[in-house]
Amino acid sequence: MMNQETSFECPSCSSDKKVPHDVLSTTKKKLVIRCTLCHTTQQVALPPRFKNLKLRVIVSDYDNSHMSWLELSALERLHIGDEFIVENSSVDAVRITAIELDGGVRTVEAEAESIRALWAQKIDKVVVKIAVHSGKTTKSHKIAFDGEKRFVVGDKERLGEVARIKIKHGPLFDRVGQSASAKDIARVYIKNTTRRSADRNQFSFTRHKPTQRR
């Protein structure tokens, strides 16, 4: 999710000059690093710049939002699209949607120590917009799903068949077999092939065939 890199002398290939190292792990006193040139791993004292800090995270949960905190190393680099767990009054899986620096400047990536606030979307439970077409009528619903729930074009469901899937800031899937997770979907289009009412309480996606009528 997040990558860290630092510069240290390498006892194997560069004992007199600092070279890039990947950070493998950190403790309160130690840093485990690996040379990017020769892949030698070593343990060094934790530099002051690797102090931990707390970042403010504004979490969007559909129409609502709340503030949480993310604790991490000051030099960890964050990118839009990174996913992680934040905690406050609740524990949420979220995805970064915006990174704000001092002065309100927005960027696509930055080191934690330079970030003023993170904006994120809750992805463990998401609300998906559903459009159900039945003849000349279209009914819209907003239904909560697990963020990892997959929708597949062509699947037969209680209210009909998944006809199209619109991806957030992305393409429209309309070929049979194309699929996406609920956390990535802006809207699902359903073709109602039954006479059943499109009542919200009847809405239930299943991956098995509908029960045969007796």
Count of Cβ atoms closer than 10 Å to residue 160 Cβ: 20
Residue range of the domain that includes 26: 5-9+16-46
- Give the whole-angstrom CA distance, residue 175 versus residue 167: 14
| Residue among 119, 125, 97 nearest 181 (CA) | 125
Mean pLDDT (whole number) for 172-198: 83
58 plus 75 within the same structural domain: yes
User: What is the pLDDT, as a whole number, of residue 115?
Assistant: 92
Q: Which band of pLDDT confidence, cut at 50, 70 and 90, is reported for residue 195?
A: low
Mean pLDDT (whole number) for 173-194: 89
Comparing 71 with 196, the larger pLDDT belongs to: 71
- Give the whole-angstrom CA distance, residue 164 versus residue 89: 37
In a domain, 210, yes or no: no
Comparing 75 with 102, the larger pLDDT belongs to: 102
Last residue of a domain, one of 122, 143, 167: 122
pLDDT higher than 90, residue 134 = no
Tokens of 131: 């459009």
104 plus 167 within the same structural domain: no
136 plus 176 within the same structural domain: yes
pLDDT higher than 80, residue 204 = no
Mean pLDDT (whole number) for 181-195: 84
Q: Residue 167: CA atoms inside 13 Å, Cβ hemisphere, count? A: 14
Q: What is the chain's percent helix, strand, coil content, to nearest 5?
A: 5, 60, 35
In a domain, 213, yes or no: no
41 plus 62 within the same structural domain: no
Contact present, 182 and 129 (Cβ < 8 Å)? no
Q: How many domains does the chain have?
A: 3
In a domain, 40, yes or no: yes
146-150, 157-161, 203-207 — which is least confidently predicted? 203-207
Per DSSP, 196 falls in state: S
40-90 pLDDT tens trace: 999 988 776 667 788 999 998 877 888 888 888 777 889 999 988 887 777
pLDDT higher than 60, residue 214 = no
- Give the whole-angstrom CA distance, residue 12 versus residue 39: 9
140 plus 115 within the same structural domain: no
Tokens of 214: 């007796």
User: What is the pLDDT, as a whole number, of residue 6?
Assistant: 81
Contact present, 153 and 188 (Cβ < 8 Å)? no
The set of residues, in sequence order, having a beta carbon less than 8 Å from that of 207 and lying 6+ positions away, is: 155
